Each structure stands twice: as structure tokens, then as C-alpha cells.
Amino acid sequence: MTAALPRDESAGTHPDAVLEVTGLDVHYGLRRRRRRALHGLSLSVAPGETVGVIGETGSGKSTFARTVLGLVRASAGRIVIGGEDVSAYGPRQWRGLRRRGVVQYVFQDPLRSLDPDLTIEESLVEPLLVQGVERAEAAGRARTFLARVRLSEELLDRLPGELSGGQRQRVAVARALVTEPRLVILDEPVSALDSANRVQVLQILKELRAHGVALVFISHDLGSVAGIADRIAVLYQGELVEVGAARDVITHPRHDYTRLLVSSAPTLRSASADRAERDALRALLHA
């Protein structure tokens, strides 16, 4: 197997990084049930950068997302968000960080990012009111962001349950961005959408990059991430095995697992191996 590249070579080198993760270990369970989900993960995200984190099911992607949102506790390592060392934060401090809109998130299921009892307008306005923005200004900003995700103002009075899945996910994206955070963690944001909605949401996310927000885009699907990420980080069995410019990772994957991912992505086949080579790689990885 190709030699692993277990860390982001740029980690620790961006004094102004919006996210700096160093040597992150995460375990689940206690005593004999204790299992390691992430090991020695180091990754740095620069302002305005989009980093795709890809890996197969169980590789630790959601664990990474949940840890940098303070929803899962790391057993070792350092997390710095927007210059603030949050490694030792307890649940209350993490809540404060999320409420201040320093880091925002979009999950696969928009119903997890949206309160089912709040109208779309309330959902968009609430994080701004928490920040002390006047109601009239908050309402104006809610409309601006609704337009940015290409939804009509007619939806403002509806509840999330009264929208389609694609509309809901676009509201979740608008809600994550309305406070103009410097960092948004997107965990499989398009996986639950049909292909038309997937294309639209990906296009919207691409456009949002122009507004300077840094995105960590987590997906099992290299094809979804390929067109949007500046850099791609590959997780395999809880370890980062490759990090590089998206184009380099896709055209010159260095790790066997990345090679397999590239060759298995239907939209990237032209840059990839044929079926026999994929089978050979799979056999090598599972040997």
C-alpha cells in the first residue's frame, strides 16, 4: 500500500486559519467498549477556503463534524476556531460559540438543522436576534439570504414541514449563513436530495464561497465535493490519509484508498482507472 500521509501538511501554518485542528483523537464508549473513531487528525482551513472531507461509511466524517461543533468530546488534540482555542470548552461554552454564530452547520437532514415549530422567517431571524440585531434589520437580512438560496419570500410564513426536502435544505443553508459566520460545517448537505436539487444546492454553495465564508464540506461522494472544494481531505478508518488541492487529489491520488474513491466516482471516471484496476485496489485495501 502507498505510504500514508496522516496529516494536513498545512496544519499549523496559517496564523489566521478559521479552523485549526491538531492531533485530534476521538473515542466512543467506555472501558472494554471503548473504540477509536478518529486518530491523530490534523487539518487547517483558511479563511474563505472550501475543504472537502471524504471517506466511506464509518470512516469518521460525522464524528469529525460533531467534534468541531462541540457535540462530541475529543479525547486528545487541539481545536482552534477563529483564533479561539476551544479544546477545553464545556457544553455551555460550545453553545455560546454556536449561538454567537462563530461556527454554523448544515446536516444531511434539514429537519435536524431547523426547528419544526418555527416558521421559516422565525428560523432565519432568530440567530440574528440572539446576536442583538434589531428585528427590522434581521427581517431584511432574512429576505436577503432567502434570495441568495433562490427561494421566494412566499415561503417565509410556512413551517419546515410545509416545504419540499430541497427547499428545506436551502433554508438550512440560509440559516447557517444569515449571521455571516466565518466557518460552516456541512455534513452530507446534498446526500438526501434528488439529483436536480443536489445540483442546485451545490451551485448555491459554490456561489456563497464568493462571500468569503469557509466551508468544510463532508461527503461520502467524491463527485459532489470535487466541483466545489479547493482542497480535499480523505479519511480512512478514522485517519486522514491524504490532503491536497482538489485537482491534484483527483488527477494524482497518492493513497490507494483515494485511488479507489476516484475510480469509483461515476462523474470522475475519465480521470480514473478501469474496472479491473478498481477491483485490484479494493482487494489490496481489504487484504
Contacts with ligand ATP, residue ranges (CB under 6 A): 28-29, 37, 55, 57-63, 220
CA distance 205 to 260: 26
Comparing CB distances to ligand ATP, the nearer of 11 and 218 is 218
Q: How far is the CB of 21 from ligand ATP (least distance, A)?
A: 15
Comparing CB distances to ligand ATP, the nearer of 28 and 279 is 28
Q: For strands 183-187 and 214-219, give the pairing.
A: parallel
Q: How far is the CB of 122 from ligand ATP (least distance, A)?
A: 30
CA distance 19 to 16: 9
Residue 39's SS3 state is strand
Comparing CB distances to ligand ATP, the nearer of 125 and 218 is 218
Comparing CB distances to ligand ATP, the nearer of 131 and 237 is 237
Phi, psi (5° rounding) for residue 131?
-85, 0
- Whether 177 and 184 have beta carbons less than 8 Å apart is answered as yes
Sheet hosting strand 19-28, strand order edge to edge: 35-45, 19-28, 76-81, 84-85
Q: How far is the CB of 5 from ligand ATP (least distance, A)?
A: 19
Q: How far is the CB of 61 from ligand ATP (least distance, A)?
A: 4
Q: How far is the CB of 148 from ligand ATP (least distance, A)?
A: 28
Beta strand ranges found along the chain (DSSP E): 19-28, 35-45, 50-54, 76-81, 84-85, 103-106, 183-187, 214-219, 231-236, 239-245
Comparing CB distances to ligand ATP, the nearer of 187 and 256 is 187
Comparing CB distances to ligand ATP, the nearer of 145 and 236 is 236
Tally of helices (H runs) and strands (E runs) in the chain: 11, 10
Residue 81: name the closest of 216, 211, 195 by CA: 216
3-state SS, one letter per residue, for 173-219: HHHHHCCCCCEEEEECCCCCCCHHHHHHHHHHHHHHHHHCCEEEEEE
Q: How far is the CB of 227 from ligand ATP (least distance, A)?
A: 20
Comparing CB distances to ligand ATP, the nearer of 109 and 122 is 109
Q: How far is the CB of 235 from ligand ATP (least distance, A)?
A: 7
